Each structure stands twice: as C-alpha cells, then as structure tokens.
Amino acid sequence: MNNEKILLGTPTAYQFCDDNGIAIEMVAKALSKSFLSVEDVQVFFNTQSLAKNKSSKNQASKYWDIDHAAFGDIRIESVDNFSKITAENLSAAVQVIPSVTHGDNFSIQKINDFRQQVKEELKLQNRSLTLLPFIIKAMSKSLKKFPKINASLSADGEKLIYKNFIHIGVAMQTEYGLVVPVIRNVDKKNLLEIIDDLQNLTTLARSKKLKQEHLGGASITVTSLGKIAGLRFTPIINPPELAILGVSKTLIEPVWNGQEFLPEMKVPLDLSYDHRVINGVLASHFMTDIGNRISNPELILI
C-alpha cells in the first residue's frame, strides 16, 4: 500500500479532510487503505487529536513532577476516582468552553421579609425556607423566557439542541467531593415541592445514596457558597450545559430612595456562560430577568 495511489474516497471523506486540513493520501497511507469512508478519516482525525491532547497533558505535567519531600516533611494520599472524574470534567470545560461571567447584586429584601413571616409555620412542617428555592424557581421562569439558554450544543458544534423541559442542577459539596443532583421539571413545581426536592437530594448526596436517575440532563446548574465568606466568584460551566449561576453570601447595601439611604439586603449573582452560543446582551437580559423576579417574589409565586 505504501506505493499505492488512492483510488477512491467518498465525497464526505474528501470534504472532511479538506475541512480539517488533512491530506487524504496521508490518511490512506496511515490506514493502509485504498478506499476511505468518512468514518475512516474521522477515526484517524480523532485518534490524532487524542494523541496530541495526551502529549500536551504529559508535557504540562512536568510542572507537577516535583520532589516535594526535598523541601520538608510531606504526607501523601491517593486521589479517589470520584475526585478524578470531577477534575477531568472541570478541566475539559475550561479547555473547550470560551466562558464569560456576568455579575450583579439584586435585592432580596421582600424575600427575606416573606421568609420571616412563614418561618415558624414551615418549621412545624419540618421544612426550612432558604433563599435557594426562590432562585431556582426564578431561574425556571427566566429559562422559559430565554429558551436559548435552556439548550446545548451538539458534540460537533453544528447544532443547537433546545430542551422542552426545565431541570435544574444543584451543586452540592459533600465529604467525598462535589456532586450535582438535578431537580426535574422545576417549572411545574411550587416552592414547597422544590424545598422537599432539595432536602431529599441533600440527604441522598450526604449519605452517598444518589442514583443515576438523580444526576445529569440539567438545563442549567446553580451553585451557592451560602454563608461562606467571599463577595463573588466565577463558577465553571458544567457541560453540556451552556450556563451556571453562582450565588454568593448575602450583604446589606445602602440604597437611595430619593430622600435618604436605607439598608437593603442583596444577593450577589454571577452567571458564567458559553460565549459560543450566548452573547453578552442575552446573558445580561437573562440575569436582569432573574434579578427582577427575586426582587419581586410575587413574580415567582404566580
């Protein structure tokens, strides 16, 4: 085959080679074939890409290949498989997705007042109403208004897959690592149902009892630092989703009412989004819509 000239290849094989800058004769020689299908050249291209990525990864690993014991006493623990998978997903997201983060602070004064009113009643029901269910419900309503954010790119980047459902992933930190269980059909649930789902998923996550049915398929993810210190952060998108919303510690800001400054409770929100699909204008409108809903919770409850 080394001296044999390629006789024929399918039109799609030629097109794939042209689009990816591959000489079809080189592929034929490497595969020892005189006829190439598009699958042949795709396999060749993917193999070459994986080898290139592996080589780059190995080259980069030199920065970690250090004898730390030379500098003092150390202790070594093996990284568990769960953490390895999480690290691979996050690394892939950072390498592939051109991510941009849009942040703003929104009033939650009305939500806080409402929470205080129903706190004791919910306590009798063994329920705790935090800010997160309001945000999750607001996100579901905003996703209906901006369906492009409730989508995913196909693997080849050629198609945009719109989802006719609204499932929201909730990032949870556990003793064994970060997990993202999913609340299904949030748009069809009220606040009490979302509270119950959150409590149930949290219990399952902490006891390491999450099943496959609890994971994957989210429209978007929300991740909250809760009461942990920090004004803002840049959350990493959870592919194949197009965006992730970060929630930081609530704060009190002075707000001018036309006559005087009054204290108002606000929450910092940070939306990281995939710039291949979502532009800054769309992200800004989406965030403003969420903010308007949590600042006016009657828009969430109706």
Burial classification of residue 285, based on how many CB atoms lie within 10 Å of its CB (0-12 exposed, 13-18 middle, 19 or more buried): middle
Within a 13 Å sphere around the CA of 247, how many CA atoms are in the beta-carbon half? 24
Within a 13 Å sphere around the CA of 26, how many CA atoms are in the beta-carbon half? 8
SS3 of 98, please? coil
Q: Which of 245, 233, 230, 272 is nearest to 171 (CA)?
A: 245
Contact between 110 and 296 under an 8 Å Cβ cutoff? The reply is: yes
SS3 of 282, please? helix
Whether 275 sits among the annotated catalytic residues: the reply is yes
List 262's β-bridge partners, or say none: 255
Q: Which of 175, 118, 142 is nearest to 243 (CA)?
A: 142
Strands 243-247 and 220-224: parallel
List 274's β-bridge partners, or say none: 99
Burial classification of residue 237, based on how many CB atoms lie within 10 Å of its CB (0-12 exposed, 13-18 middle, 19 or more buried): buried
Catalytic residue from among 102, 167, 275, 285: 275
Give residue 185's region: left, alpha or beta (phi > 0; psi -120 to 50).
Answer: left
Contact between 186 and 220 under an 8 Å Cβ cutoff? The reply is: no
How far apart are alpha carbons 22 and 300 in whole angstroms? 53
Which residues have a catalytic role annotated? 275
